[in-house]
Structure 1
């Protein structure tokens, strides 16, 4: 079955169906480089014109800039025609010293301080702030964002989990039961942290940002299997592993939001060699691979310019021979048990 931007899959046990291809708006928050307003608008317009109808953003992306820019497009479109996801757990506030404030690690972004809060009041404040930045009075889904050891010490993770289980989940449950949102998700970057969260909370889907890509299937038998067993859908939040699977190996390649290590570079060169042997594109393989897993409902690659968006859609639909996936397994470049396109175990 050919997968296109309009193909939809159901989220967990909800009635919500998501397009398998979404637009990840982190780059519009100016992650690696500044993006001027004209380029941002052109990229979003290109996505809409190409039929993209699922958009993912967060308060963290550019400290509010991504939500503002995305809202500039979506507020002009019929509300029934798109699905939008944003995230909770961070609120934005005026910095103590605006004159000296740095937006790092964002190259650009907006001059607001981040305040983490996973309590009932914090979740509701995150939600209400997001609506205003998006210029929308509804969002479809909310994700508990970055409650992991990439952003916090283990002690803070434990403290914030107490906030979440003590009252934060009540806020999300109320928003869902009242019809304000259609599904609750959790976003996670660190292998193991997702398993710990899922042991304490119940969600409809998880955004997995790094540990399940063409480059890394370390959670195949743990988190991914748990999600499958519990009927929790998965959205792949960084199918290009934050850059290197789109750009390829070489100087300046990014992995896990930083410079790619020599070991990662070497593995990507191995993937590139198999791509060359089969006439396949590395970005196409990166986008198509995770969609073969039966728990995965969508991928949300980012784009900072119209040409990147166009290339992503072309990669989604590019033809890749079955022998390519067999060779990756034969050379130990992907897990032997990983579902692959055309293997018969993938989701349609």
Structure 2
């Protein structure tokens, strides 16, 4: 699962699911998912305080504790500071099936960044993380650039974190981070997939020009590309009929060429030369194993040709067999 595709993109474990995204998991199920990913060779894990009000960080830290710290890398996020709440009700309004023990406070101040990271390190049981992202600063751009980003620079210079960046579901502000700051990496969720190639217009060219790493999240657009059907989710909401139809057409092409839509979706994300990682969430050992299998599955060159010829993929989107050194 950790084997890099030519071009160096690796599959990584997204830990939102083990924070009880949508439905509840047991601690054992979460542990089994992380352990299966490790068994498959995954060595990078991504989490955030937002995921289950800290539950994802606690579970991920516990599962990784049995492994030597230098043997893996881990990223978390800042910008949503957790404050104690009365604990009544649940957090399903934010997508997580956990008790509302805390509330999220948007905070991209220098003090807020440091406090949020300190709390994350405590939950993870670690003294440092490898990467820290500013998490969804969409509506807080001024504070994120004026205070949050410089705070991350200081943490990097102090050695508290290794790499710094921003993680978002849009490309415009990520492109600004790439062009106007010294971020090491950006995490782009859902904007470079078989259904949405908007990152091709700004973010990916800028990242390649500046030498900034790009990690792609949301390769399945939150579910539709994993299992296209009426009622499937796209960007965390019910997919429109038009999107379902398009996903079903993509699936039919994949199956005609003897592969799966999941394998094609992952291979597409990994093929761009600016992309260094593809982040996929798993809620169980079976899902982690399947992600590994799909990531390793060869995707025939003829599939990409048909997608272009039928207008399901733009001609300028890189595909695996066009990358230097790519094996068929």
Q: TM-score interval w.r.t. the shorter chain?
A: over 0.9
- Shift of residue 103, structure 1, vs aligned partner: 4.4
Residue 208 of structure 2: which of 197, 214, 228 is its match? 228
CA-CA distance at 1:124 after TM superposition: 0.4
Structure 2 segments unaligned to the other structure (5+ residues): none
The whole-number CA distance in structure 2 between the counterparts of 1:293 and 1:345 is 11
With 119-128 and 184-193 compared, the bigger mean Cα shift is at 184-193
SS of match in other structure, 1:22: strand
Match of 1:81 in 2: 71
Q: Would the alpha carbon gap of residues 100 and 291 (structure 1) be closer, same or farther in structure 2, given more than 3 Å must change?
A: closer
Match of 1:7 in 2: 4
Mapping 1:158-177, distance limit 5 Å: 160-177=140-157
Contact 2:188/2:217 (8 A) holds in 1: yes
User: Is the Cα contact below 8 Å between 2:5 and 2:270 reproduced in 1?
Assistant: no
Shift in Å, 1:110: 4.6
Q: Distance in 2 between matches of 1:319 and 1:199?
A: 35
Aligned ranges 1:199-214 → 2 under 5 Å: 199-214=179-194
CA distance 1:173–1:193, change in 2 (3 Å): closer
Residues 166-205 of structure 1 correspond to what in structure 2 (within 5 A)?
A: 166-205=146-185
CA distance in 1, matches of 2:125, 2:79: 20
Q: For the aligned residues, what is the CA RMSD?
A: 2.0
CA 1:192–1:165: 2 relative to 1, 3 Å: closer
Q: Secondary structure at the match of 2:282?
A: coil
Q: Deviations over 1:222-280 (max 9, x none)?
A: 11111111111100111111111112x21331110111111210110110121121111
C-alpha separation between the residues in 1 aligned to 2:246 and 2:165? 31
Q: Counterpart of 2:230?
A: 251
**Residues 271 and 130 of structure 1, relative CA distance in 2, 3 Å threshold:** same
Structure 1 Cα separation of the partners of residues 312 and 99 of structure 2: 40
* Structure 1 residue matching 2:183: 3-state secondary structure: coil
- Residues 228 and 185 of structure 1: is their aligned pair in 2 closer, same or farther, counting only changes over 3 Å? same
Residue pair 1:293, 1:345 contacting (<8 A) in 2 also: no
* Pair 1:203–1:299, CA change in 2 (3 A): same
- Among 42, 57, 70, the residue aligned to 2:32: 42
1:31 aligned to 17, 21, 24, which one? Answer: 21
In structure 2, do the counterparts of structure 1 residues 109 and 178 end up closer, same or farther at CA, with 3 Å as the change threshold?
Answer: same
Q: Name the CA distance, whole Å, in 2 between partners of 1:78 and 1:107.
A: 30
Q: Please say if 1:264 is aligned against 2:243.
A: yes
Q: In the alignment, what sits opposite 2:284?
A: 305
Q: Gaps (5+ residues) in structure 1?
A: 11-17, 149-156
What is the alpha-carbon distance in structure 2 between the residues aligned to residue 262 and residue 284 of structure 1? Answer: 23
TM-score by length of 2: 0.93
Equivalent residue number for residue 152 of structure 1: none
Q: Which residue of 2 aligns with 1:130?
A: 120
Q: Deviations over 1:135-164 (max 9, x none)?
A: 11111010011112xxxxxxxx2xx32322
Counterpart position of 1:281: 260
Query: 2:90·2:97 contact (CA, 8 Å) conserved in 1?
Result: no
* Contact 1:24 1:301 (8 Å CA) reproduced: yes
Instruction: Note if 1:70 corresponds to 2:67.
Output: no
Asked whether the equivalents of residues 294 and 347 of structure 1 are also in contact (C-alpha less than 8 Å), the reply is: no
